[in-house]
Amino acid sequence: MNAGSRAVLRSLVPVICPPDAVPYGEAIVEHVGLSLAATPVLVQRGFVAGLAAYDLGALPRYLRRARALTGERAERYYASWEHGVTPLHVQFARGVKQLMNLACYEQPEMMAAVGYRVGPWIEEVRAKRLRVFADDIAKQERQIIAPDPLRPRAKQEVA
């Protein structure tokens, strides 16, 4: 993502993410960039083009780019896309929101705020499994590599 795209996304953090996520704005934008980089090239290009259109689209109405809008004006402008005049506006607004919400609740502080502490949980149950079920685990691992031919009498007979 280029600097312009990042600036637009940064301006959207207070609009799309909950208020307590605003301090993590830079990390959220960074995360959106990582997610976007994993998508098909066409999606990436479309998204970046969409951000540019969103940025410039504010000029006629607000005489400034979207990235410079704050507060109520930023809110109103995003809402105009969210309920937009064309399906493209609507799809783009949804796509941005989805990526930013994903990024928002991937922040450790936001996960902790909703009570999702999965790291320690994984460690706890992983250790429990290895401790309590060691015999069955070993049995399955032996089964995985034990000879058990699909055709017992078949031997490779081709030259």
Partner 1 sequence: MVAVALHEGAHPRNVFTRRDLRGDTVLDCDVVVVGSGAGGAPVAAELAEAGFDVVVLEEGPYYTTRDFTANTSAMIRQMYRGGGATMALGSPPLLFQEGRAVGGSTVINGGMSWRTPDEILARWRREAGLDTSPESLDPYFTRVEKRIHVAPMDESAIGNDNWLLKKGADAKGWKIVGNLRNQVHCVGSNRCAFGCPTGAKQSALVSYLPRALHFGARVYADVKVERVAFHGKRATGVIGRSAGGHHVVVRAKLVVAACGAIHTPALLARSGVRSRSGQLGKNLSLHPNVKVVAIFDEAVTSWKGAHQAFQVREFAEQGLGCFAAVNMPPSILAMSFPQRGAQLGELMAQYDKMVLAGLLCEDSTSGSVRTIHGVPQAFYQLAPKDLAQMQRGLVLLSELLFAAGAKRVLLPFHRARELHDADDARRVLAEPIPAKEWEVVTVHMMGTARMGRDRSRSVVDEHGFVHDADRLMVADASLFPTPIRVNPMETIMALATRAAGHVIDNARRFLS
What is the contact surface with partner 1 in residues (CB under 8 A)? 14-21, 31, 34-40, 43, 75, 87, 94, 97-99, 101-106, 110-111, 113-116, 118-119, 121-122, 125-126, 128-129, 132-133, 136-137, 140-145, 147-151, 154-159
Q: For the chain, what's the residue count?
A: 159
Among candidate residues 2, 5, 18, 19, the one with its CA nearest the CA of residue 66: 5
Residue 63 or 150 having the CB closest to partner 1: 150
In the complex, least distance from residue 64 CB atom to partner 1, rounded to whole angstroms: 21
> How many Å apart are CA 116 and CA 110, to the nearest integer?
9
Residue 42 or 63 having the CB closest to partner 1: 42
* Residue whose tokens read 């049995």: 139
In the complex, least distance from residue 112 CB atom to partner 1, rounded to whole angstroms: 10
In the complex, least distance from residue 27 CB atom to partner 1, rounded to whole angstroms: 12
Residue 63 or 159 having the CB closest to partner 1: 159
Contacts of 17 (CB under 8 A, 6+ apart): 25, 28, 100, 101, 104
Residue 60 or 149 having the CB closest to partner 1: 149
Give me 1's structure tokens: 């993502």
> How many Å apart are CA 94 and CA 87, to the nearest integer?
10
